Structure 1
Amino acid sequence: MTTTETVPTVRRAETTPTPSLPPFGQFIGGAFVASTTGATVDVENPATQEVLMQVPAGSVEDVDAAVAAAVAAKADWAAKTPKDRSAILLRIADIIEANREVLETLEAANTGKPAAVAEDDISSAIDTFRFSAGAARAFTAPGAGDYAENHTSVILREPVGVVGVITPWNYPLLMAAWKIAPVLAAGNTMVLKPSEQTPLSTLKLAELIASEVPAGVLNIVTGPGQVVGNRISEHPDIDLVAITGSVGSGQKVAASAAGTVKRVHLELGGKAPVVIFEDADLQAAAEGVRSAGFWNGGQECGSACRVLVHESVADRFTELLVREVSQITVGAPGAGDDVEMGSMISGAHYKRVLAALEDARAEGLTIAVGGNALEGPGYFIEPTVVTGVPAGAPITSTEIFGPVVSVETFRTDEEAITRANETPYGLAASVWTTNAARSLSAPRRLDFGTVWVNSHLVIANEMPWGGFKGSGYGRDLSTYALEDFSRTKHVMYNHG
């Protein structure tokens, strides 16, 4: 493949939608309150580089106040019936739906997402709350019985208590929903720290639902990870800490949580292989990678970012993929419903992705399409396909987390599986084949928490999401999430 000469441009909005901003302050005990520190963090629109507003750069004292509120509320919330908790979660879903446009506009402004991604995020958040509302009422434990002579055993399912949550910047409201819904459904109270880069939609949600959720059940503290996140991880009154973020952040949280021997729930990075066998529908595979490799600008832990294609069809597949990727429309929020890809989240991340592309060039890899920054305001990078990637190249195992898909080839099924598994991550993968036997055998041999066959990045709330190896442990979504945020107690009655 030769480098494509056509340079795409960023489609700009004629008028930028004005977001409805949340109140200033920390959300503690059911209300927005002043932080104990006067320090603030600028929150930027990455598509325009304009500052949207400032939020408090929270303190240890802010976290302590939020934890105290959660502790005070936990007994009453845990005592509510599943039916009562379910009703509140359903009301939250209704409120999000009623304020869909407000939240979509705010999310797009804070992240640079195109309309299609922002809309999907809000729709998925709504469904997350509705699923958890139902799961709260259907959540069961093993039946009572006599497992020792003259003794009846009963298993009680209890909340763990107070849950600390740290959410990422790539899906601010959706990742908050993935934690808030099952945490509350299982009967816990919580303290949540959103990313300091993207806190606005989570704060707006708190404003919208403040009258529905009892005071202290949900608390939100903004600020830097090294202060707010660290205090949440180490706080003795937090019983479990859950993070969605990078491997490095997860390691820090787990190390900090070890001091108080609290449970940890880690949903970390990924480097998802896309294994395309010689009998695959190549056009469908190319379209699948276009969608799943560049969704949310590739800022997605399950992104279809690493293609392994059989050498006999590699040229044809690459031709199809380059054609698909060259047609992606890049634009700012408000620039049209057909915009597929927005900006990178920040200047710092934009520079990291461009540095990774420079490394690829320095290693002699081929940029088949894209590979450059786009002119004008905002942190925009061309959708990029890198080819000529040898086995073991750094790009095959390094999570770039941007609009970059690499393509490498394999000869045998055994080589494909071995190479796909040669990554420190184990979150997601996909297999593309029309061979029924292979579609059953290959997923079993791939060391990833989710394996799609002839699709990629399709997620259902009824099914668990989580990984192996460096991608962490614990499961989001499904009833497994409620299990993660609860504990079992065995009560044995002597009736002899």
Structure 2
Amino acid sequence: MNLVLDQFKMYIDGEFVDASNNDTFDNINPSTGQVINAVPKATEEDLERALTAATRAQKEWKHVPSSERAEYLFKISDLIIEHKEEFAKIISQEVGKVTAQAIGEVEATAEYFKYYAGWARKYEGEIIPSDRPNENILIFKKPLGVIAGILPWNYPFFLIARKVAPAILTGNTVVLKPSSSSPNNALIFAQLLDEIKLPKGVVNILCGDRTIGNQMALSPKVDMISITGSVPAGQSVMEAAAKNITKVNLELGGKAPSIVWKDADLDLAVKAIVDSRVINSGQVCNCTERVYVHEDIKDAFYEKIATAMKAVTYGDPLADDSVGMGPLITKSSLDSVIEKVETAKKEGATILTGGNKGSSDGYFFEPTVIVDAKNDMDIMKNEIFGPVLPVGTFKTLDEALELANDSDFGLTSAIFTNNTNVMMKFINNMDAGEVYVNRESFEAIQGYHAGWKKSGIGGADGRHGLEEFLATTVAYIDYDLNA
């Protein structure tokens, strides 16, 4: 198929449409600050049409055998790979993601659809023993119904798969709202759905701001609202969903700690920490957001981490595909990072390297390391969402655990050590959904990505992620023993 790369229309009930009032908003390239295109801005009427279509379609879609539903996922995966370069370019343009990372995101998106297609004949119910001699108890797994998905801007393509693939594989239908900062991937993706002739209403895509997101959460036609975003966004959605007691699935912020024990392989630790700090310019929820290094090795670590961060180049990835890092997503994001660094300096932290706005056009900030960081400082408590790495120190493992767990967040964490006892104590006492040992902080499709505390409710990926989209019916079946 040929993608129409200048068609930016919403996809509702199997049709490409503009907003009902023809309203639009601008999509900005963060590397240049220039407008890429105008995007339809959905109205409440558009949302209602999408939800009505999804509700109607789900009544039939849930009866389609799961193996047939899976075939659509396989076709989507194949078309994504066929158009890998186009989608990667859109990601780099909208988000500023460097070329290799953009291509990696597209490939992971295709793999995600393929992975969940493979679950078609694997998810199952149960038979439970009864206390009665003439009874069987059966647990059935059924689709929830209509899923409302709200996407973030930092992984605009992969998160389409995370919201859509397990949902439609299990017989649900979807109304999807991409971020207003990165809508184009979703709008172009709709052409793939149209190409494979996915039944009308099974997946609907519309654009808009938080107002539309809250209206989605308020709707009695929605059976689950799934959002990946900030804590305030999640709180707003959760409050709206409470009106109808709608199920929520929330992946929110993170403040991931990385512990560098005194026996750590410093070269490995530094590379893994830098890789997970500057990926997507530090704008990833499971990025290393703070480091605690054992006092015995802090000087050696400081020298290596400063050298590694200084070596990270930045710039417009479409102008130079060799850069190691792109821009922040918006000017307000850049201003927030600048403010956080200035506050850290005022609170007594020391800039080891970086610390300034980038010299290039666009929303760039230098790769930065801040030392002498204490847990009561803002930069150690709140998400930075930029290429800034604050570093503190510790003397004992108990102290390291206390510092690492001293947070409102609990999404991911990491430790670097060759001591099995240290490793296991950390894993068993860390209050986080994920622990990475001697590697970069990035999850696997077959795992389970879920946060503790304010980092979220529910999760995604793997078998447990699939179950988020399933409801349970228990059937108690009595029969005549004398038959």
Change (3 A) 1:326 1:78: same
- Residue 217 of structure 1 is matched in structure 2 by 202
- Residue 104 of structure 1 is matched in structure 2 by 88
Pair 1:77 & 2:48 matched: no
Q: In structure 1, the residue corresponding to 2:195 is in which secondary structure? A: coil
The one-character-per-residue Cα deviations of 1:101-157 (angstroms, maximum 9, x if unpaired) are 110011111111110110111111011101111123211222354453311111111
2: CA distance, partners of 1:388 / 1:192: 43
State which of 238, 245, 248 in structure 1 corresponds to 2:222.
238
**Which runs of structure 2 are paired with 1:54-203 in the superposition (5 Å)?**
54-143=38-127, 145-203=129-187
How many residues end up aligned between the 2 structures?
A: 477
Q: In structure 1, the residue corresponding to 2:100 is in which secondary structure? A: helix
2: CA distance, partners of 1:41 / 1:371: 33
Pair 1:361 & 2:345 matched: yes
Contact in 1 for aligned 2:405/2:431 (Cα 8 Å) = yes
Contact in 2 for aligned 1:20/1:106 (Cα 8 Å) = no
Contact in 1 for aligned 2:55/2:173 (Cα 8 Å) = yes
Q: In structure 1, the residue corresponding to 2:75 is in which secondary structure? A: helix
Amino acid of the residue matched to residue 53 of structure 1? N
**Which runs of structure 2 are paired with 1:458-469 in the superposition (5 Å)?**
458-469=442-453
2: CA distance, partners of 1:151 / 1:86: 34
385-394 or 89-98, larger mean C-alpha shift: 385-394
**Which runs of structure 2 are paired with 1:373-452 in the superposition (5 Å)?**
373-452=357-436
Amino acid of the residue matched to residue 260 of structure 2? I
State which of 456, 460, 465 in structure 2 corresponds to 1:481.
465
Amino acid of the residue matched to residue 361 of structure 1? K
Amino acid of the residue matched to residue 216 of structure 1? G
Pair 1:35 & 2:48 matched: no
- For residue 385 of structure 1, report the CA deviation from its aligned partner: 0.6
- Residue 476 of structure 2 is matched in structure 1 by 492
Amino acid of the residue matched to residue 42 of structure 1? D
**Greater RCO structure (CA 8 Å; 6+ sep):** 1
1: CA distance, partners of 2:444 / 2:158: 13
1: CA distance, partners of 2:226 / 2:442: 23
2: CA distance, partners of 1:148 / 1:116: 60
State which of 240, 264, 267 in structure 1 corresponds to 2:251.
267
2: CA distance, partners of 1:100 / 1:147: 56
Q: In structure 2, the residue corresponding to 1:54 is in which secondary structure? A: strand
- For residue 26 of structure 1, report the CA deviation from its aligned partner: 2.0
Q: In structure 2, the residue corresponding to 1:313 is in which secondary structure? A: helix
2: CA distance, partners of 1:136 / 1:179: 16
Amino acid of the residue matched to residue 168 of structure 1? P
Deviant stretches of 4+, over 4 Å: none
Amino acid of the residue matched to residue 289 of structure 2? C
**Which runs of structure 2 are paired with 1:304-319 in the superposition (5 Å)?**
304-319=288-303
TM-score w.r.t. structure 2 length? 0.97
- Residue 297 of structure 1 is matched in structure 2 by 281
Percentage identity across paired residues of the two chains? 35
- Residue 21 of structure 1 is matched in structure 2 by 5
- For residue 412 of structure 1, report the CA deviation from its aligned partner: 0.8
Unaligned runs of 5+ in 1: 1-18
Contact in 1 for aligned 2:13/2:50 (Cα 8 Å) = yes
- For residue 458 of structure 1, report the CA deviation from its aligned partner: 3.0
Contact in 2 for aligned 1:21/1:200 (Cα 8 Å) = no
Contact in 2 for aligned 1:426/1:448 (Cα 8 Å) = yes
State which of 285, 288, 291 in structure 1 corresponds to 2:269.
285
1: CA distance, partners of 2:367 / 2:409: 23
1: CA distance, partners of 2:214 / 2:89: 31
2: CA distance, partners of 1:372 / 1:230: 36
1: CA distance, partners of 2:243 / 2:67: 36
1: CA distance, partners of 2:101 / 2:370: 24
Q: In structure 2, the residue corresponding to 1:309 is in which secondary structure? A: strand
Amino acid of the residue matched to residue 301 of structure 1? C
State which of 236, 239, 242 in structure 2 corresponds to 1:252.
236
Change (3 A) 1:113 1:494: same
Contact in 1 for aligned 2:231/2:253 (Cα 8 Å) = yes
Amino acid of the residue matched to residue 217 of structure 1? V
- For residue 336 of structure 1, report the CA deviation from its aligned partner: 4.0
1: CA distance, partners of 2:242 / 2:409: 22
Amino acid of the residue matched to residue 424 of structure 1? D
2: CA distance, partners of 1:337 / 1:82: 41
Amino acid of the residue matched to residue 368 of structure 1? L
